[in-house]
Amino acid sequence: MPEPGHEILHLSNVSRHFSGLKALSDVSLSVSKGEVVGLIGPNGAGKTTLVNTICGVTPASSGVIRFDGRDITRVKTYQSARIGLSRTFQIVQPFAEFSALDNVAAAALFSQPGESLTSAREAAREHLAFVGLDAQADQSAATLTLAMRKRLELAKALAMKPKLLFLDEVNAGLNSAEVERATRLIHQLAANGITIVMIEHLMKVVLNVCTRIAVLHNGQLIADGAPRDIIKDPAVVDAYLGQQYAQRNAARG
Amino acid sequence: MLAIQVLINALVLGCLYACIAIGFSLVWGVLNVINLIHGSFIVLGAYLAWGAYQWAGISPWYALMIAAPSFFILGYLLQRLLLNRVITAPVLVTLTLTFGLDLILNNAMIYYFKADYRKLILSPPTGSVSIFDVIVPVDRLIATGSALALTFLLYLLLRRSKVGRAIVAVRLDRDAAVLMGVDVKSIYAIAFGLGAALAGCAGVLMALIFPISPLTSSAYLGKAFVVCVLGGLGSVSGALAGGILLALVEGIGSVYLGPAHAVTLSFVLLIVFLIVRPQGLLGRKGFE
Amino acid sequence: MTRSTVALLILIACVAALPLFGGAYALRLGTIACMYAVFALSWNIVGGFAGYPSFSTAAFFGLGAYATGILMNKGIPLAAAVGVSLLFCLLLAVILGAVLLRLRGHYFAIASLSLVEVFRELVNNATDLTGGGMGLNIPLVSGSSVLSDATFFFYAMWGLLLVTALTVIAVSVSKLGFGLNCIRQNETAASMVGLNATLYKAIAFGLSACFVGAAGGLYAAWVHYIDPSDVFDILYSVKPIVMALMGGLGSPLGVVCGAFLYLGLEELVWRNYIQIHSGVLGVLIILLLLFLPHGLVSLHVGRIWRGLTGRKAKHA
């Protein structure tokens, strides 16, 4: 396990095209152990594509991605899951027929070498308890509420013993009490030493949780720094609120 | 010389292949159903042409005009009464259902016509012409011309008519089409009816050239598969491209490997295309 | 062990008692029953567990039959020839599976269907080795009488059924079975949690082919004569699907019950409607799909159903 502050993820000049359309262009980014990085940007900025590219779902068209010292640019999805990269999905992806327990057990079973079905189920119970789903362990995933399914996603991701965890809009569609609960969980994860990169629309959550913010706009990284600086950055304000607003703001001084 | 011969034969045969495949492609594209009864429809069409000529002296050109509406009605009813009931079920179910239908139709044809091969022989014979010193029978040329005309007719129908636009809309985005007020079930039935009508007409044309037997239905079905996959699903131009490519491959394969290997070659090509270029040569969304 | 596993093993044990009751006819029927059950159980691995609609049963049945037939003509004893056929089908299917199972839905169905055509044409054209369209004679396995010969092949096929059933049961409770289940429900999510879907699917395809290949080998030796249009008959691909649909997708007990029920219906139709038997079969298939779409064992099939439907909708 690398020390805190040690670089765990490094992207240099990563690009991704979809038949001519440039979804990511020349993104360079570095994440250190223990950080909680917020990845923000308007809709269609390329945030989810960036996560997909890192996890091997949509491999990079060019550029290099290094994780924990090794080149993972061309690594397949299932391999990236086994080396400690895990993620939740914006649109939850449960195994609908399985119980909540087996959903998490699947994650433990296939990501950890040498895990047996029995030991994976045991581990799954702990992770379900951590996200507060122990009471629903035997319920089928299809019958859970959205908030519960979001937490199930998180439990699955945790069962993979991640070194780096991507959270893709874990709070979308949740009410404020549920958001608060999820935020507490993220704090706890960070306290446990898991490095987190989170895509999030709720600025309240981002400012509350993140130690650093990276901003994507039209597939380009337009800002990267401490939360306080980022929200004042004219390029960011411009990307979010449009040029007119930025100019008016500048005129007012 | 050999090259020109192969090329001309491929063009003539390719248009026929396209005609065989086009109805199959339409049904697959619009209904998302692999219609295994397609081959037997073609054979039934061939029997219709044969019977009309043999028993009533009706020439195949008029048989086309009988085949189109009667097969349309047959297909329309099959879709309305049977297929629409399982249209949302998994691939396995719709595929097995059309297989069951095929068993029935094929068995019925074997029962009534027996399995032996028949031939429709026009009298007087139409003779043959020479194109670039390649001798091509006139009936074959006429069949090819009619196949092209049928294909073009479908293209016009889909392009210009209201029903055609509705079919394309359903193919592109079923849910959006529902929201726009398209009655999807009846569009499905019309598309399946059209597919059947095209199969029936293709059968009439095949009767001019090939021997007729219920046993040939799987060969027609196989051709339809290959053409659809090679050319790309659900487009008229794709079916033409696929048909000509298949005929070319078969022609060249026959010259270099012997005719026995032509079928193997075409199926190997099918599998390779499925894996490497599943959208086909001219594949894109939308049936036009 | 679950209750349905016990029931399956009891059912198979009961079949073994068949020779006590009967002459040549019962033995013939029993041998075919075991063969069909092998088909259905094998198909269930890839079609039921992993949710890929395979139409390649006939391809490996024919391949196994020809492999065994050719080897026996070269003087290799039956058991060894069947064993080699099994391994050959396993290896070939694993390799093909790794490639073909990248396709989904209709595309996979067509590719697996095409395998039957390709293999049939290859066998048809390799006249020197296979006799081509003329067919292939296979030397008799030395038996003292027709009846003892029939008993021998019945127990051979029954033994194969037992091995197949035990393998399928083992798969269903193993990490492999769990993984295939994940793949059927959500393949994207499965690879996201570290499951090597390509490997799992290839193994599943291999397992679903190898016992069918061995059954083909036993069949060839049993009937002494095979030709391409007989053993590469596309009906062999469709029958196991009908059996599985009859009995209930995904459940080993269900598909074996489906196989026996199907054979019963087939015999009934053959005896009474010899001229129109395939048409009657077609009617049966349609009635089954329309009125009993969830099979006999419809206890938890509804969920599988939705899983399959969801898969289809996604790749439509």
pLDDT at B70 over 80: yes
Task: Assess whether pLDDT exceeds 50 at residue C316.
Answer: no
Contact C278, C285 (CB under 8 A): no
Mean per-residue pLDDT, C286-310? 60
C-beta separation of B235 from B215 below 8 A: no
For the cut 70, the answer to whether the pLDDT of residue C115 exceeds it is yes
From CA C211, how far away is CA C82, in angstroms rounded? 10
- Copy the structure tokens of residue C297: 């064992």
Q: Which of residues 178-237 of C touch A (CB under 8 A)?
A: 178-179, 181-182, 185-186, 188-197
pLDDT value of position A246 = 54
Optimal mutation site among C43, C55, C103, C113, interface B, most CBs of chain B within 10 A: C113
User: Which is it for strands B134-137 and B128-131: parallel, antiparallel or unpaired?
Assistant: antiparallel
Q: Which residues are bridge partners to A70 per DSSP? A: A67
Q: What percent of chain A has pLDDT over 90?
A: 18
When the pLDDT of each residue in chain C is averaged and rounded to a whole number, the result is 86
Nearest alpha carbon to residue A34 among A190, A161, A162? A190
pLDDT at residue C315, as a whole number: 38
Residues of chain C found within 8 Å of residue A156, distances taken between Cβ atoms = 193
Tokens standing for residue B218: 């799987």
Confidence of residue A241 (pLDDT cuts 50, 70, 90): low
Total count of domains within chain B = 1
Residue B113, classed as helix, strand or coil, is: helix
Question: Closest approach of chain A CAs to the CA of C179, in angstroms?
Answer: 8
Give me the pLDDT at residue A253, please.
46
Q: What angle do CA C53, C59, C65 make, to 5 degrees?
A: 140
Segment A227-247 shows an average pLDDT of: 72
Residues 44-73 of chain A with CB under 8 A from chain C are 55, 57
The pLDDT, as a whole number, for residue A244 is: 53
Q: What is the CATH number of the domain that holds C288?
A: 1.10.3470
CB contact under 8 Å between A81 and C191, yes or no, is yes
Q: Which of A5-14, B56-65, C196-205 has the highest mean predicted lDDT (pLDDT)?
A: C196-205
Coil vs helix vs strand at C279: helix
Q: Which uninterrupted H or E stretch holds A215?
A: strand A212-217
Going by pLDDT thresholds of 50, 70 and 90, the confidence category of residue C272 is confident
- Name the 3-class secondary structure at B192: helix
A215: nearest Cα among A5, A37, A34: A37
Average pLDDT over residues B228-257: 84
Tell me which residue range forms the domain holding B222.
Answer: 2-276
> Does B97 contact C234 at a Cβ distance shorter than 8 Å?
no
* Strand (E) or helix (H) holding C287: helix C277-291
pLDDT at A249: 58
Residue B287, pLDDT score:
36
In which band, very low, low, confident or very high, does the pLDDT at B286 lie, cut at 50, 70 and 90?
very low
For residue range B84-136, what is the model confidence (pLDDT) as tens digits? 888 877 778 888 899 899 999 998 998 888 878 888 777 766 777 777 777 77
**C63/A65 Cα distance (integer angstroms):** 46
**Which pLDDT score is estimated for B133?**
74
Do residues B236 and C94 lie in contact, with contact meaning Cβ atoms separated by under 8 Å? no
- What does the pLDDT look like over C77-110, one tens digit per residue? 999 999 999 999 999 999 999 888 888 778 888 8
Q: Which amino acid is at B129?
A: V
Among residues A160, C105, A183, the alpha carbon closest in space to that of B93 is found at C105
Examine the pLDDT at B157 and tell me if it is beyond 70.
yes
d(CA A136, CA A158) in angstroms, rounded, equals 17
Residue whose structure tokens are 């949710």: C51
**Chains B, C in contact, 3 or more Cβ pairs below 8 Å:** yes
Instruction: Look up the CATH number of the domain holding residue B209.
Output: 1.10.3470
Question: What percent of chain A is modeled with pLDDT above 70?
Answer: 93
DSSP string across B143-164: HHHHHHHHHHHHHHHHHHSHHH
Instruction: State mean pLDDT over A225-238.
Output: 82
Q: Is there a domain that residue B119 lies in?
A: yes
Report the domain count for chain C. 1
- Which pLDDT score is estimated for B288? 32
Q: Report which DSSP code applies to C19.
A: G
Would you say the ipTM is above 0.85? Answer: no
Average confidence score pLDDT of chain B: 84
Q: Is residue B50 part of a domain?
A: yes
The DSSP symbol for A3 reads P
- The neighbouring-strand residues paired with A17 are A22
CA atoms within 13 Å, Cβ hemisphere of B140 = 18
pLDDT at C144: 64
Average pLDDT over all residues of chain A: 85
Mean pLDDT across A184-198: 89
Secondary structure (3-state) at B96: helix
Q: Which architecture does CATH list for A1-76+166-228?
A: 3-Layer(aba) Sandwich (3.40)
Tokens representing residue C118 in the block:
């390709």
Residue for token pair 């240099």: A12
Residue A252 has pLDDT above 60, yes or no: no
Contact, B216 vs B43, CB < 8 A?
yes
